[in-house]
């Protein structure tokens, strides 16, 4: 069968010729918008999860710090001279009552210092060595300063940021809490109970308070 040179295939309809440049740009724009929306959603979810994890870490560290502080306080130690006379006791217990202003809010900024016996090894310091511990806030972080009997001093950062640190003290044979304490002043003996409160403020939420009470058997 011979095919004439002048014979041609029917022209394809223009509708089947493919996408125009304008249609392609519109399609790419729609796809880009969809990807941006999806990315924004995943980014918000990831940011929310990360914020929750950060808050949980702060709460966990605060609880652990509260535990260590309470544990150290429970080992409050009253030293005695070799003859064992009560009049020769060597005792350190001081509580400071302060405040600080942050973001137009006032938070307690107390500090406490007391003699104790450590049952945790810190570096090359022997365990069960008598020492003086001081807990306070420094630049919004809870710090522990340990001064050992051999003159060595160590500072440890425990948790933060923490907005407030508050202590209250219950004197012997009393039901009225006091805000300060000094064994060298009007209170020659240590308190029988210490109330500890740590205050955290997470953005978008009210301040959260962690509180506990510690009995001091050595002061009875």
pLDDT in tens, 21-79: 777 788 888 888 887 778 777 676 666 666 667 777 778 888 888 898 998 898 887 65
- Is residue 71 assigned to a domain? yes
- Let me know if residue 47 belongs to a domain: no
The total domain count for the chain is 1
189 phi, psi to nearest 5 deg: -110, 165
| Phi, psi angles (nearest 5°) of residue 60 | -65, -45
Residue 92 lies in a domain: yes
Determine the structural domain holding residue 214 and report its residue range. 55-219
The structure's pTM equals 0.69
Within-domain flag for 68 = yes
Residue 136 lies in a domain: yes
In a domain, 16, yes or no: no
Q: Does the CA dihedral 145-165-142-100 come out positive or negative? A: negative
pLDDT in tens, 97-149: 999 887 788 899 999 999 887 655 555 555 556 788 999 999 889 999 988 77
Q: Which residues contact 213 (CB under 8 A, 6 or more apart)?
A: 193, 194, 195, 196
- Whether residue 50 lies inside any domain: the answer is no
Task: Judge if the upstream peptide bond of residue 66 is cis by omega within 30 degrees of 0.
Answer: no
């Amino acid at each position: 069968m011979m095919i004439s040179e002048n014979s041609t295939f029917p022209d394809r309809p223009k509708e089947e010729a493919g996408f125009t440049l304008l249609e392609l740009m519109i399609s790419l724009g729609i796809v880009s918008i969809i990807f941006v929306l999806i990315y924004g959603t995943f980014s918000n979810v990831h940011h929310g999860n990360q914020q929750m994890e950060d808050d949980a870490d702060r709460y966990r560290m605060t609880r652990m710090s509260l535990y260590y502080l309470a544990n150290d306080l429970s080992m409050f130690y009253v030293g005695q001279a070799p003859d064992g006379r009560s009049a020769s006791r060597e005792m350190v217990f001081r509580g400071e009552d302060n405040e600080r202003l942050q973001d137009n809010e006032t938070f307690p900024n107390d500090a406490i210092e007391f003699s104790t016996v450590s049952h945790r090894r810190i570096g090359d310091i022997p365990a069960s060595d008598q020492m003086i511990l001081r807990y306070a806030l420094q630049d919004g972080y809870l710090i522990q300063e340990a001064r050992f009997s051999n003159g060595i001093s160590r500072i440890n950062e425990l948790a933060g940021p923490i907005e407030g640190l508050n202590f209250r003290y219950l004197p012997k044979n009393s039901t009225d809490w006091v805000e300060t304490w000094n064994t060298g002043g009007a209170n020659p003996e240590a308190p029988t109970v210490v109330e500890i409160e740590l205050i955290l403020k997470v953005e978008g939420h009210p301040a959260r308070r962690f509180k506990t009470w510690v009995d001091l058997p050595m002061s009875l």
